A and B are shown apart, each in its own frame.
Chain A
Amino acid sequence: MPVLELQNISKHFGAIHAVNDVSFSLEPGEVVGLMGDNGAGKSTLVKMIAGNFRPSHGTMRMDGQELVMHKPVEARRHGIEIVHQDLALCNNLTAAENVFLGRELRRGFGPFSVLDYPAMYKRAAQIFTELKSETRPRDVVKSMSGGQRQAVAIARTRLTDAKIVLMDEPTAAISVRQVAEVLNLIRRLRDHGIAVALISHRMPDVFTVADRVIVMRRGRKVADKKIAESSPEEVTGLITGAIEAA
């Protein structure tokens, strides 16, 4: 059964049809590449799944239940985690503090509770080990490489039992060696049975790590097929419109 199912989703901003009648589903443990040119409707689609926008038409279902969200925090409560393009990290805080930002662990009782640093360092170290990342919980994010920063942002999604992780251009601004590191992190998430939607401009990344590719053009879904049955040339054609649909 799909973990997330979109049925005939549309989003209009006045006369502009940002997303038009799009349906697709995400299976657990599946990495789906979401591709399309600027303005194709990718980010509007993602923002609806993330709870930032409500669809104008259509329904979203999660584990078969209809999903209606008004605020981004509700998405998190439903097990949808987002890794933002700029990673949303605070350079002045440590890796562990960033992982737990907004969800700090405390010990003690009521108003007398204090932050539980040992527990946060321990849990963060566990997650980084699980992700096979060399990131150290006590290191300040300011001095980290692009790949380590990604690991911190992705570690956040492991705090709760996330079912879906949306990643917005995770490889846009990092070096080639670090791209491999990030793609490995994505595989770790998949191995935990998490569905990953990877929004990317980079053809090689999608073809390396994704199981399926969905191509958007001018608000519509023009292709949804297994990576094995497609090719970078075909996807490029679909993105630009040289190929109408596949």
Chain B
Amino acid sequence: MTSTDMPSSKDARSATDRTMDQRLELKQHSRLSALLSNQTFWVFVAVVLACLYLTVATDAFATSKNLYNITRNVTFVAIIALGMTMVIISGGIDLSVGSVLCLSSMVLAVTMHAGYGIGIGIAAAIATALAVGAFNGILIAYLGFPPFVVTLGMLSVARSLAMVASNNTVVFQFGPDHDKLLALGGGAWVFGIANPVLYMLVLAALAGFVLRWTRFGRHVFAIGGNEKAAILTGVPVKPIKVAVYMISALTAGIAGIVQTGWLGAVTTNIGAGMELQVIAAAVIGGADLAGGVGTALGALVGAALIEVIRNSLGLLGINAFWQGAFIGGAIILAVLFDRIRNFRQSD
């Protein structure tokens, strides 16, 4: 450190100079070390290595068809993981996303099946998702319910409502705008990239921007870091919490709409168990379930790792029953790195 070589002076100016020096040094030093201690970075490295290995080891991986499949499969989990990451940063959890996806899809399907246009169908689906999110958020923020309990209840309620709305049938006729809906989810309008991937990238950019560059984003981090401090410093904690659960439900709704267009049919089964994949993606991507930590990019990278694991097991001819073990292992491994770093810091 050059600062120790400098003559010590009580003069305020030289004190500022010295801290400036230290700051510059630290900045260069900390860029690299911040990257190396970043969980998202290591998960990203894992994804890249896995892809390289699969390219060499199998003929089927690096084909445009398989890559198209992978990128599209990632999106549904990734889009919801963006909303989930916000919830987790705020110190909460949302178990209802899989069911909200199903309910939104079903509202869209039933509305369009009844002869309404795609615009009304999407509006109804989004409105449903937002209403569910608002209900979760208000119970959590204003009535002090634990997020786990409220969203666990909603997991059951939303899927049940989807069954009621459709009388538990499969909907595959979407009225006059049938083709438009299928193009929306199944098309590839730009450079042959699947539409869902585009939506995912746009939403990720938006989420990343909101988290980093808006007051709202900083407040979400503050609430997750120390809710009491946020209240004392005048952060509108309750409205922000409601908004966070509405955003989470909204991402589930959007994923539902896109997935409906892609699949071309809706059953009351879609999105079942999806909440666990979504939470896994967020956590693998670096979101801390204790709150206060997480990134939009991490949500994408986490979702990508899960999909690459899934895809590779099939290509490598490994029994599909192993899938759960590998994904579970990835969750534990990702968090293990984080723990090791914390142990080092506390030493």
Contacts and interface: CB of A to CB of B under 8 A. Distances in A.
A93 B222 contact: yes
Main secondary structure on chain B at its contact with chain A? helix
Given A90-B221, A91-B292, A92-B292, A101 B19 contact: no
A80 B234 CA distance: 14
B213 A115 contact: yes
A93 B23 contact: no
Contacts of A73: 234
Nearest to B292: A92
Contacts, number: 72
B215 interface: yes
A97 B217 CA distance: 12
A245 B249 CA distance: 63
Interface stretch (B66-74, B150-158, B223-231, B322-330): B223-231
Interface string B226-260: 10111011110000000000000000000000000
Given A106-B215, A136-B19, A143-B345, A129 B226 contact: no
B44 to A, nearest CB: 22
A189 B226 CA distance: 26
B218 A115 contact: yes
Contacts of B12: 129, 132
B234 A88 contact: no
A104 B215 contact: yes
B213 A88 contact: no
A103 B236 CA distance: 12
Contacts of A84: 232
Contact of A88 (B19, B214, B226, B292): B226
Given A114-B214, A129-B16, A102 B233 contact: yes
B213 A114 contact: yes
A191 interface: no
A134 interface: yes
Interface in A78-126: 84, 86-93, 97, 101-104, 106, 114-115
Contacts of B345: 143
A106 B217 CA distance: 13
A217 interface: no
Nearest to A71: B234
B123 interface: no
Interface in B264-310: 292-293
B15 interface: yes
A101 B218 CA distance: 8
B291 to A, nearest CB: 8
B232 A88 contact: yes
A76 interface: yes
Given A102-B235, A136-B23, A90 B293 contact: no
A205 B248 CA distance: 49
B287 to A, nearest CB: 12
B224 A92 contact: yes
A70 to B, nearest CB: 14
A206 to B, nearest CB: 25
Nearest to B224: A92
B234 A92 contact: no
Contacts of B215: 104, 106, 115
A102 B234 contact: yes
A101 B229 contact: yes
A72 B235 CA distance: 12
Nearest to B15: A129
Interface of B: 12, 15-16, 19, 22-23, 26, 212-215, 218-219, 221-222, 224-226, 228-230, 232-235, 292-293, 345
11 contacts: A72-B234, A73-B234, A90-B225, A90-B230, A91-B226, A92-B293, A102-B219, A102-B230, A104-B218, A129-B16, A134-B19
Given A87-B229, A88-B232, 18 more contacts: A72-B232, A90-B222, A90-B229, A91-B225, A91-B226, A92-B224, A93-B221, A101-B230, A102-B233, A102-B235, A103-B234, A104-B215, A114-B213, A114-B214, A115-B218, A136-B19, A136-B26, A143-B345
